[in-house]
Amino acid sequence: MANRLTALQEQGQGVWLDYIRRNMLQSGELRGLIENDGLRGMTANPTIFQQAIAAGNDYDESVSRLIRAGADPIDIYEAVAVEDIQAAADQFTPVYESTNGADGYVSLEVAPSLARNTEGTIDEARRLWKMVGRPNLMIKVPGTKEGVPAIKLLLSEGINVNVTLLFSLEAYETVAWAYVEALEERAAKGEPVDRIASVASFFVSRIDTLVDSLLDAKLANIPSPSGRDTIERLKGKAAIANAKLAYESFGKIFGGDRFAALKAKGARVQRPLWASTSVKNPAYSDLMYVEALVGPDTVDTMPRDTLEAFRDHGTAARTVDQGLDDARQTMKTLAEVGIDFKKVTDQVETEGVEKFVASFDDLVAGIESKRAALVASGTRA
């Protein structure tokens, strides 16, 4: 039987893994995913590193060495994260080279506390880019209002950027044009644009989690079956409709005359990356967010469980640009029943930043606990 994951690649979609842990880098597991499943990249965030470092003993040797060197918890996190990202990037180098830089990227995030700090984001991104020292690195920068100027400047300097925490069509279009403007600046200075890479990480399932809860609240106050039916049919529809409309905007921006001038110089499109594609509601199909958003020039970053589920029973058929009229009708009906979608996307962006900050705080606390335990057990000896 053909591999369902590699079938996504045949549809023009790159599969990335939303997970990293040292044992998978050392055991050959990652290499197997690349060679057998066509894995094209990897993303990481504070939550993933918190789970990896705080649990088990994969990192004890590195943490012990850093303790002896006098490192604090943040320095320890950064050192082990950079080691992992470098090792992963090296394993993706054959993909990067065989695709001439079109794929094979590994992402590392700036500190979440900088999401509202333009200058701080720029400084940290430059520092991390230099520390990792791999051409197939992407620096993850939130697509907040404050993040956009940083994204544009970093791209203009030749730093690859994974724009994260995008929820609204407006935010997506803003960062897509920032990418175009950054490449135009490079081209105007006679600098190459053919090796700059970026993805726009558009989050999916979190939209439905919030919208469905708002719809449930409305259902509780509607006694008539007809009124309830309209609202019931909207559940589980907002996120995919929103993402399809973002892909439509992608096609207009990167298929237009303005980008054509850059394309003639070798520039690549900024691919939409579907993030948060694991299903939060067990009543929904486990692959609904993956199967509904398959298409050319896209990336899907999947947690391990979702990747394994797709390998087992996924369907790889082009869907991302189908049902656009239905998507527009969904958004129209949501407004008619009183769902303010701008408030939804503003809220999930705020919550997204807060969750990443909390995860980073948990990560630092977990490293401190591990540090204390290792010191108590005689690590310094």
Beta strand segments in the chain, E: 13-18, 41-43, 105-109, 137-142, 161-166, 198-203, 271-275, 298-302
| DSSP per position, 162-205 | EEEEE-SHHHHHHHHHHHHHHHHHHHHTT---TT--EEEEEE-H
Which of 164, 124, 112, 125 shows the shortest CA–CA distance to 143?
A: 164
Contact 38, 5 (CB under 8 A): yes
Tokens found for residue 35: 């060679």
Catalytic center residues: 140
Q: What is the CA radius of gyration of the chain?
A: 21
* Residues in contact with 352: Cβ distance below 8 Å, sequence separation at least 6, in sequence order: 142, 165, 167, 203, 206
Contact 151, 143 (CB under 8 A): yes
Contact 326, 241 (CB under 8 A): yes
What one-character DSSP code corresponds to residue 256? S
Q: Which residue has the tokens 């197939």?
A: 136
Q: How far apart are CA 212 and CA 218, in angstroms?
A: 10
Q: How far apart are CA 311 and CA 170, in angstroms?
A: 33
Q: How far apart are CA 24 and CA 17, in angstroms?
A: 12
* Residues in contact with 229: Cβ distance below 8 Å, sequence separation at least 6, in sequence order: none
